[in-house]
Amino acid sequence: MYKIAILGTENSHALNFAKLINGGHPMRNGRGYADFKVVGVYGYDDAANKQIQNEAGVEMIAQNLTDFVGKVDAVMITARHGDNHYSYAKPYLDAGIPMFVDKPITIDEKEAVLLAKTAKEKNIPLCGGSCCALVTSTQQLKNIVASTTAPLGKILGGSVCAPINLRNEYGDFYFYSQHLVQTSMEIFGYDVKRVRAVQREDSVSVMCGYDRYEIANFFGPQTYSAVVYGSKSNLYLPIDIDTDAYAREVEAFADMIRSGRMHQTYEDFIKPVFVLNAIKKSMDTNTETEVGTFTL
């Protein structure tokens, strides 16, 4: 039995993940995982802690962040503010414990590198980020773009849109924006070189520059969708996050823990942090901005 702790319970993701693993969530028809159990939670929101304990059968509410070191096989970091993610992860990275890290992976680029570099050196598998990258429509578009016999013809570019929350207590722009950025990168590639962003009152328009095409990202609508433009035809798909997005995240996490293997590289895992920071800089300076580079 793999014992799991969830760190940061003020996020609705924490309750959903606990119920998916322990049982009771409709996305798995109420079935839990026979080989996994969320045994404890840590967070500053007492009401959220107790709700997870009552609804998901979690045994322990920790008083200290490090209470699960040496007692669990993996952790899921679901704190809403990205600035908390590295500090929550560090004691468990030091202990060699695999982990899921929710979006945004971090806000600070240096913390992202420290997280991934430590994990890579210790061979600690990581997963997480945005659930939108795993849903069926995102993966379908990704496969079309990657196909050597693309039915759309030569891929000329594309567009992705998703909601944004620019004013909040969890990092403002950074709180919600990895959903769009990671979806776009999952479809069109993680090798974004430059961005040009324009902010309006309730929206942000971004052109993401690759060596082979330009991709338009639009933050603002209360829907998720994507278009791939080809030389022969185009394909539009809504990005359905309601059907089973949480379940796909948990399944990816469970597969990683069982196998010890990541489904992406450490570099791709933290690349959205650098794209988000480039977008924010472009918004603030009204200039095209190069996406930062790093070495692990």
Report pLDDT digits (tens) over 81-115: 999 999 999 999 999 999 999 999 999 999 999 99
Q: What is the pLDDT of residue 151?
A: 85
pLDDT beyond 80 at 250: yes
Q: What is the pLDDT of residues 124-155, one digit of tens each?
A: 999 999 999 999 999 999 999 998 777 899 99
Q: What is the pLDDT of residues 218-227, one digit of tens each?
A: 999 999 999 9
Instruction: Please report which confidence band the pLDDT of residue 178 belongs to, taking 50, 70 and 90 as the band edges.
Output: very high
Q: What is the pLDDT of residue 148?
A: 76
Q: What is the pLDDT of residue 150?
A: 72
Q: What is the pLDDT of residue 137?
A: 96
Q: What is the pLDDT of residues 12-71, one digit of tens each?
A: 999 999 999 999 999 999 999 999 999 999 999 999 999 999 999 999 999 999 999 999
Mean predicted lDDT score pLDDT of the chain: 97
Question: Does 132-244+274-290 match 2-127 at the fold level?
Answer: no
CA-to-CA separations, 204 to 164, 167, 179, 240, in angstroms, rounded: 8, 13, 14, 21
Domain spans, the chain: 2-127, 132-244+274-290
Q: What is the pLDDT of residue 89?
A: 98
Q: What is the pLDDT of residue 149?
A: 79
Q: What is the pLDDT of residue 279?
A: 98
Between 3.20.20.140, 3.80.30.20, 3.30.360.10, 3.40.309.10, what CATH number should domain 132-244+274-290 receive? 3.30.360.10
Q: What is the pLDDT of residue 180?
A: 98
Between 3.20.180.10, 2.60.120.510, 3.40.50.1360, 3.40.50.720, what CATH number should domain 2-127 receive? 3.40.50.720
Q: Which token pair is 284?
A: 């603030």
Q: In the chain, pLDDT over 90 holds for what percent of residues? A: 98
Q: What is the pLDDT of residue 2?
A: 98
Cα 119 from Cα 111, distance rounded (Å): 12
Q: What is the pLDDT of residues 266-285, one digit of tens each?
A: 999 999 999 999 999 999 99
